[in-house]
Structure formats: C-alpha cells, structure tokens
Amino acid sequence: MKTIFVSAVLAVAIVPTVAAAQAIPGAVVAVVDLDRVSRDCNACKSAAATLQGRATALQNRQRTLAAPLETEGKSIQAAIDALQGKPADTALQNRAKAWDTKRNAAAQELQRSQEQLQRDQQYIGQQISTKLGPIYSQVMQRRGANMMLEVGSTLATSNAVNVTNDVLAALNAALPSVQTNAPAATQQRQQPQGR
C-alpha cells in the first residue's frame, strides 16, 4: 500500500512538470501585404516596367509577323479556290509550302520569345523571394513576432501588427535592383545508356 501511495505521489508530481514542458508560447502575429511589397519595391517597379516593355515588343512582333502571313495565306487560298477542285500546279504547291514554312518559323520564334519572357519573370520572382526569406526573420525578430501571415490570408488585422512598411524598407535596402534576363535555358542532351 505504501508503494502504491509513493508511486501515485510521484506520478502527480511529474505530470505538472511534463505539462509545463509542453506548453506552447502565445502567438505573436505580424502581417505583411505581399501584393504591396511586390508592387512598390524599387527593384520590383523597375523589373515590372522592363517586363511590360518586352511584352509589348512581343505583341508588336506578333502583329508584324502575322500581317504578311495572313495576306499571303489569303492569296494562296484564293488561288486554290479558283482551281475549283482541280489539282494545284507545282508553283502553287511550292508557294503553299513556303508559306507553311514561314508560318511555322514565326510560330517558333514567338514561342521562344514567350518562353524567355516567362523565364525572365520567374527569375525576377526568384531573386525577390530569396531576399524576402531572411527579411521576414529579421522583421519578426525586431518586432517580437513568432508568426508572420500574408494580410490576404487573414479576416481582419490591426495596423499595429502590420509590418509591410518594415519589409518593404528592408527589401529596398537589400535588393536595389534585380537582373531581368534569366540565364539561358540549359539544353539537356540524352546520352545513349549502357555505353
């Protein structure tokens, strides 16, 4: 009986200690408006203007390539329609093949340019994200927060917990500019296996 009583007393003495060791500190939350940060940071504004210029140039190039192709395509189609089902002569066939080659080349050029624009955009985002990670930690430590949320994922917040200005200022200091040209895409060549 004495052994059971001592075991019970020890168990009661240990439980509060284990419970205290598992206590989680209260959350001190900070929020940041990432849309505003990515819109208002100096490097972001400059990069966005550069990308917009490239997108406009791509649209202009698309129109430049499309206009003569459309005119030539209509001309070829009119010549085919004039044959009223008769076979096309060699000259018309060659013209149609040349037009198709030009159309494919234009489509490939535009696709490469679009892919490069997307790589550039991703590269810019990657540079910004790389800088933001440590900034979040620094701002949280300075403001005494142990959790940071994006303002868009909250229902309501107080201005007292909004650290957007802190993050924006730190990002402007840490990232005065970004590279807007992504490194060239790597070409992976498949090697024959087993040799």
pLDDT in tens, 151-172: 989 888 888 999 999 999 999 9
Using a 10 angstrom Cβ sphere, with 0-12 exposed, 13-18 middle and 19 or more buried, the burial of residue 131 is: middle
Q: pLDDT at residue 35 above 50?
A: yes
Q: Quick one: DSSP state of residue 22?
A: T
CB atoms within 10 A of CB 36: 15
Average pLDDT, the chain: 87
Joined together, the tokens standing for residue 67 give 């206009």
* Residue 186 in domain: no
Q: pLDDT at residue 26 above 90?
A: no
H/E element holding 147?
strand 147-150
Give all strands (DSSP E) within 20-104, no chain letters.
29-32
* Residue 111 in domain: yes
pLDDT the model gives residue 2: 53
* Residue 32 in domain: yes
Q: pLDDT at residue 188 above 70?
A: no
pLDDT in tens, 72-88: 999 999 999 999 989 99
pTM: predicted TM-score of the whole model, two decimal places: 0.75
Q: pLDDT at residue 179 above 50?
A: yes
| Closest among 107, 23, 7, 10 to 61, alpha carbons compared | 107
Q: pLDDT at residue 20 above 70?
A: no
State how many domains the chain has: 1
* Residue 20 in domain: no
pLDDT in tens, 89-146: 999 999 999 999 999 999 999 999 999 999 999 999 999 999 999 999 999 999 999 9
Residue-number span of the structural domain to which 144 is assigned: 27-174
